């Protein structure tokens, strides 16, 4: 079962403030005119404003739209309540993002009819126990992939079952890019092989797809044919593969002093999360968008594992400084190739001393509040790059001590 909350952040805001209900609402990372809307209510979407819209453009299109700043603590609290309900039906719950999850009901139900009853009860409990303005779309199938496809078919507040016999009819209605995992680039590659539809891919020879597209292509082919490739993994979100932060600038500029300050804060937020996870990084990505162009996204493998904010910033700023060509409207930094910190000392550098100093600063900020102590280059950025919540951010699911709850078959 795949459960996807509808217009989640905006719906939570409408639940919290009755005056927002039934009206177009946009949740923004920040409320400046250059900020972007990270979640739009059903009413806003119906009027043409969706996720990714710029605040100033949204106001032009819908003058009466209600814009609110992102409230991560509120959303995480609501998510924990919702995911706690999921745990009443199975201990195998994978939080795929803050607003969606996979549930493995194997061994807990015996047929699709029973699975539908479980889904209906979960939807009712979310409304009764969490909030009557919150809705979700549910997909039920015999593989993880098809459950996700099913949940996308009816929005909002849908419930769709996909059984093996439904596959041919389903694929005839959908285009290649309508299913999870096929973007326009992959669709173009498939088109060059003569695969123009999902049924073409379904019927394509296995040996050919493996030889031409390799293992990723075979995985996609197998998923389309209803073979289970990825099991529901409750631990999948506990250790992210990358850590980063981005920020749409309130001032569009190519002033390196200003950009360096903002980038330092992004690196500090990234470094704090990296160190809190007990890991180091071996590759750094820095990205930016131009005012009138798409932008760039560059990366560099570091000569040594890094965890310190200054190490992250020096590499990221070096890439930015050498490559910007115009006014910048957005900055992003990400660290990848993560692994646990081993404690191994370098021959020429006292990494233990540096690590202890960095951890001491983190402890001060943990105790007395964020940015009680910070790098001087960050001075004046207190209101920049506030805390935000990503849709793929890990969510703590409260453990259940009591027995699992099952709906009645009657």
Catalytic machinery residues? 100
Backbone torsions φ then ψ of 283, nearest 5 degrees: -150, 140
Backbone torsions φ then ψ of 297, nearest 5 degrees: -145, 105
Distance CA 89, CA 395 (A): 18
Q: Which two tokens stand for residue 256?
A: 């390196």
List of E strands, 197-276: 243-253
**3-state secondary structure at position 322:** helix
> Which is it for strands 279-290 and 339-340: parallel, antiparallel or unpaired?
antiparallel
Helix axes 112-125, 72-86, angle to 10 degrees: 140
Q: How many beta carbons lie within 10 A of that of residue 220, not counting itself? A: 21
What secondary structure letter does DSSP report for 130? I
Quickly list H helices, 233-299: 256-276
Contacts of 166 by beta carbon, 8 Å cutoff, 6+ apart: none
List of E strands, 108-185: 136-141, 159-162
Distance CA 147, CA 153 (A): 10
């Amino acid at each position: 079962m795949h459960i996807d909350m509808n217009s989640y952040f905006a719906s939570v805001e409408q639940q919290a403030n009755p005056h927002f209900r039934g009206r177009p609402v946009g949740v923004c990372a920040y409320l400046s005119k250059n900020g972007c809307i990270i979640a739009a209510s059903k009413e806003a979407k119906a009027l043409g404003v969706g996720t990714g819209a710029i605040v100033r453009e949204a106001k032009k299109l819908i003058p009466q739209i209600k814009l609110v700043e992102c409230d991560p603590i509120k959303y995480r609290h609501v998510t924990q309540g919702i995911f706690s309900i999921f745990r009443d039906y199975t201990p195998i719950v994978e939080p795929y993002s803050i607003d969606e999850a996979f549930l493995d009901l194997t061994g807990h139900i015996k047929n699709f009819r029973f699975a539908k009853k479980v889904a209906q009860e979960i939807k009712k409990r979310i409304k009764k126990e969490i909030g009557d303005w919150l809705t979700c779309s549910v997909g039920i199938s015999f593989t993880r992939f098809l459950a996700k496809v099913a949940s996308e078919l009816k929005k909002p507040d849908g419930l769709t079952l996909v059984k093996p016999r439904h596959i041919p009819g389903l694929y005839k209605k959908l285009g290649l890019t309508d299913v999870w995992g096929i973007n326009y680039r992959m669709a173009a590659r498939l088109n060059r092989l003569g695969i123009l539809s999902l049924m073409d891919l379904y019927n394509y020879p296995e040996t050919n797809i493996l030889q031409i597209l390799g293992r990723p292509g075979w995985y996609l082919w197998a998923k389309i044919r209803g073979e289970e490739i990825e099991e529901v993994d409750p631990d999948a979100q506990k250790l992210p593969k990358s850590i980063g932060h981005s920020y749409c600038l309130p001032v569009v500029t190519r002033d390196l002093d200003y950009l360096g300050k903002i980038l330092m804060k992004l690196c500090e937020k990234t470094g704090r999360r990296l160190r809190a996870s007990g890991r180091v990084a071996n590759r750094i990505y820095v990205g930016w968008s131009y005012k009138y162009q798409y932008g760039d996204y560059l990366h560099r493998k570091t000569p040594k594992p890094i965890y310190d904010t200054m190490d992250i910033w020096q590499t990221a700023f070096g890439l930015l400084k050498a490559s910007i060509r115009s006014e910048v409207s957005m900055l992003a930094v990400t660290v990848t190739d993560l692994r646990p910190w081993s404690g191994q000392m370098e021959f020429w550098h006292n990494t233990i001393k540096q690590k202890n100093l960095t951890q001491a600063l983190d402890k001060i900020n943990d105790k007395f509040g964020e940015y009680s102590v910070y790098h001087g280059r960050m001075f004046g950025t207190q209101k920049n790059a506030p805390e935000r919540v990503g849709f793929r951010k890990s969510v703590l699911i409260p453990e259940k001590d009591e027995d699992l709850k099952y709906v009645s078959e009657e």
